[in-house]
Amino acid sequence: MSMEASDIATSLRRMFDHDLLYQGFSPGGRDYEMILYESVDPNPAYKLVPCHLKFLFRFCVEVVAESKLNDSAWNRAREDRLSEEYEPSLLSPGTPWSQRFEVLYPGAQLIEDSPKARSWEQKVGLPFHEVVIEGNVQLRSLVFLDLEFEEVGDGYAPYRVTQDGEVERFAASTKIPLKPSNSTDARKPDVTS
């Protein structure tokens, strides 16, 4: 059952000022996933517990992302040391590559009467939605059919690499062996025959 637009808007409010840890298409490329860390007020009187949230934009037909960083930040980005892991603190240098997360502020907004969503609705015959999600690193727009929203626990991973996974088994049983090539680069096809 699909969420109503008002329920989607309510769920998207949970993105406000939280930390984006991961984003990308789910295996298969149909759904778009975002994992956030929902930090809370540390005052023990409130008894709040931080958590990780998964937003799954189902049947996501369009994702557009644009950098919000200025040219000097991109110029400094060439230094790989900025993306090395370290323990972040209030004194961290403040580049998104060193922080390893993005602060979603002002967060997400559902676009009412979106021309992009309306166009997809006319093509597919289903009610699509558009959301604009803004953080300190990127401004992104997603067009999608439905939203699933849940807490995820320790160890959750969008994809786990294994040698005997579904894709690996399928590839092993469907690939046709090619004849050996005389080429010095094994990736290039032998075009001599």
pLDDT tens readout for residues 101-147: 889 999 999 999 999 999 999 999 999 999 999 999 899 999 999 99
Task: Please give the residue that has the higher pLDDT: either 159 or 152.
Answer: 152
Residues 116 and 173: their CA atoms lie apart, in Å, by: 40
* pLDDT at position 79 over 70: no
What's the confidence (pLDDT) of residue 80? 61
Number of domains in the chain: 1
The conformation of residue 112, written as its DSSP 8-state character, comes to T
- The pTM is what? 0.79
| pLDDT score at 146 | 97
- Judge whether 185 lies within some domain: no
Identify the domain containing residue 132 by its residue range: 5-174
Contact at 8 Å (CB) between 3 and 146? yes
Give the span between the Cα atoms of 128 and 51, in whole angstroms: 29
Q: Residue 44 pLDDT > 80, yes or no?
A: yes
Residue 79 lies in a domain: yes
CA angle, residues 123, 128, 132, in degrees to nearest 5: 125
